[in-house]
């Protein structure tokens, strides 16, 4: 049983702040700043990577210019591969 509060035995003041509350708030703030920095860095790397990537149609045109098509007639009158109709 908790003794009643009197003038001789005042109740403890639960509204006062202690050091543990400040440490907890500081720790939460540092974790938040770290997470925000990681997300920012991830977004920057993702943007840079997307700027470096070549669109697929440009890449495909470059490959077509370098390699001969398998559908064109082969030199010497040889038969070529025919694309099956499906």
Q: What is the structure's pLDDT at 38?
A: 97
Q: Is residue 70 part of a domain?
A: no
Q: Is residue 5 part of a domain?
A: no
Q: Is residue 57 part of a domain?
A: yes
Q: Is residue 10 part of a domain?
A: no
Q: What is the structure's pLDDT at 34?
A: 97
Q: Is residue 81 part of a domain?
A: no
- Count of domains observed in the chain: 1
Q: What is the structure's pLDDT at 20?
A: 74
What DSSP line would sit under the chain, residue for residue?
-PPPP-SSSPPP-TTS--HHHHHHHHHHHHHHHHHHHHHHHHHHHHHHHHHHSPPHHHHHHHHHHHS--TTSPPGGG---PPPPP-
Q: Is residue 37 part of a domain?
A: yes
| pLDDT tens over the chain, length 86 residues | 667 777 777 777 666 667 777 888 899 999 999 999 999 999 999 988 887 777 777 877 777 777 666 555 555 555 555 666 65
Q: Is residue 74 part of a domain?
A: no
Domain that holds residue 42: 26-62
């Amino acid at each position: 049983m908790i003794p009643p509060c009197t003038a001789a035995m005042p109740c403890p003041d639960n509204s006062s702040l202690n050091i543990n509350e400040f440490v907890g708030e500081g720790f939460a703030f540092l974790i938040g700043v770290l997470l925000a920095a990681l997300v920012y860095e991830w977004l920057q790397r993702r943007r840079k990577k997307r700027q470096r990537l070549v669109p697929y149609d440009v890449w495909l045109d470059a490959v077509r210019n370098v390699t001969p098509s398998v559908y064109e007639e082969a030199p010497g009158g040889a038969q070529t591969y025919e694309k099956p109709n499906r």
